[in-house]
Amino acid sequence: MSKYTEEELKKELETKEYEYGFYTELESETFPVGLNEDIVRAISQKKNEPEWMTEWRLDAYRIWQEMTEPNWANVTYEKPDFQAISYYSAPKDVDPNKTLDDVDPELLAMYKKLGISIEEQKRMNNIAMDIVVDSVSVATTFKETLNEKGIIFCSISEAIKEHPELVKKYIGSVVPKTDNYYAALNSAVFSDGSFCYIPKGVRCPMELSTYFRINQAGTGQFERTLLIADEGSYVSYLEGCTAPSRDENQLHAAVVELIAMNDAEIKYSTVQNWFPGDKEGKGGVFNFVTKRALAEKNAKVSWTQVETGSAVTWKYPSCILKGDNSVGEFYSIAVTNNYQQADTGTKMIHLGKNTKSTIISKGISAGKSQNSYRGLVQIGSRAENARNFSQCDSLLMGNECGAHTFPYIESKNSTAKLEHEATTSKIGEDQIFYCNQRGIPTETAIALIVNGFSREVLDKLPMEFAVEAKKLLEISLEGSVG
């Protein structure tokens, strides 16, 4: 009899294996392990970067060397040995003029396995994709359509060469090299990533999308994303990733910088599914990400994230609301299972007058995982009439996981209005039985309850992404029942 108790739910969750844990054979060129100035120079050289970029990297490296790893987050893990990591890996024989048809069939097969067929994406969703596989972009599509509008969407490596004036001006302007340990490391060794520039008054006609993937054993991946929305422009950017199963911990330390100029709007959506480690907590990706946006006058920035993967996550997509009337939003679903640990949230820094921010965070914990929300709402002394609404909800499955909320509020202006709401609930046996009685099997019941809990955030995702996100939520929590 397929008896259901909470005990068994826990067992089910524990026996769930990483569905995307396959490994694709791609020939690749990998640097020797370790990090020093020569390696930093070699990375820069490998990518034919101009002198200023090499110097920028070296400067970051020197800063990084002076720093120590932060340990204030509510996570415990064995610190990575930074001298045991290879800092550059690229699939061989990359031809920048390659079209989608020329892409390694094995790679295409890999995406198909994930249900993200590129052709399909292209045809049906009208998405231009800049795919990052092991650090180097291997295919870029829809470039011409974007060109007509003056939109630049390319790899950051290409942007350094083709648009140095933009990169030079904005890289590190929102997340400086000195910002934190991982941002400094990323600045020194970033391998590749995406660059996007939307000119004044242009509304980007399609969702821009990048799929990241770690695909080489022992390879750290350090993406760098820079997105600039010029005055009055609009762009919606989708970022999604899955990673194959590996024994060793893989370090992922990305930096994402968004600049929304006067009256511009940026919508940045992420679905993250890095390998979370097996049910004993072995392996899995360390995800230490710095994401920050600068919003000028009347600008609006929305971060929406669905985090289901990684062994350890340390991530706070933030908004600096510098301009008057600027708006920042953060919508997050973070799922942890087995031994996963997530410490995630946001920072809303209100500097301008009449600035507004909204934070909706949904944490779902199962297994023996720990899920923390950490958020800061800071109101500057000149931020007259700033407003914030925060809502942090936690859903627990079983008795061995934990949900934590660390909301910080600092207000230097008495006109500020701040609201904070928090709830904690548990998926109950009675809820499951109720669904079962209506003919809904346990697996579907959990998906239904989790989707219901996450609804406010899922609704913020672009349609096609929401479907994928729901699928990921189900995979992350249900496993193979029966």
Return residues touching another protein (CB under 8 A).
1-5, 425, 428-431, 433-442, 444, 448-449, 451-456
Beta-carbon neighbour count of residue 243 at 10 Å? 26
Smallest separation, CB 4 to another protein (Å): 6
Smallest separation, CB 438 to another protein (Å): 4
The token duo for 478 is 């249900």
Which residues, in sequence order, are CB contacts of 326 under 8 Å at separation 6+?
A: 260, 295, 296, 297, 298, 299, 300, 301, 319, 352, 355, 356
Which residues, in sequence order, are CB contacts of 67 under 8 Å at separation 6+?
A: 180, 181, 184
**CA–CA separation, 137 and 191 (whole Å):** 10
Smallest separation, CB 388 to another protein (Å): 23
Smallest separation, CB 313 to another protein (Å): 24
Which helix (H) or strand (E) segment is 428 a member of?
A: none
What string of DSSP letters covers 312-364? EEEE--EEEE-STT-EEEEEEEEEE-TT-EEEEEEEEEE-STT-EEEEEEEEE
Smallest separation, CB 448 to another protein (Å): 6
Are 295 and 263 a contacting pair, CB within 8 Å?
A: no
Smallest separation, CB 394 to another protein (Å): 13
Are 25 and 82 a contacting pair, CB within 8 Å?
A: no
Q: Report the Cα 168 to chain-centroid distance in Å.
A: 24
Instruction: Find, among 389, 381, 345, 341, the residue nearest to 365 by Cα.
Output: 341
Burial of 245 (0-12, 13-18, 19+ CB in 10 A): middle
Smallest separation, CB 352 to another protein (Å): 34
**CA–CA separation, 89 and 32 (whole Å):** 10
Q: Which is nearer to another protein, 59 or 443 (CB)?
A: 443
Q: Which is nearer to another protein, 1 or 95 (CB)?
A: 1
**CA–CA separation, 355 and 426 (whole Å):** 35
Q: Which is nearer to another protein, 265 or 478 (CB)?
A: 478
Q: Give the largest CA-CA distance in the chain.
A: 69
Smallest separation, CB 451 to another protein (Å): 7
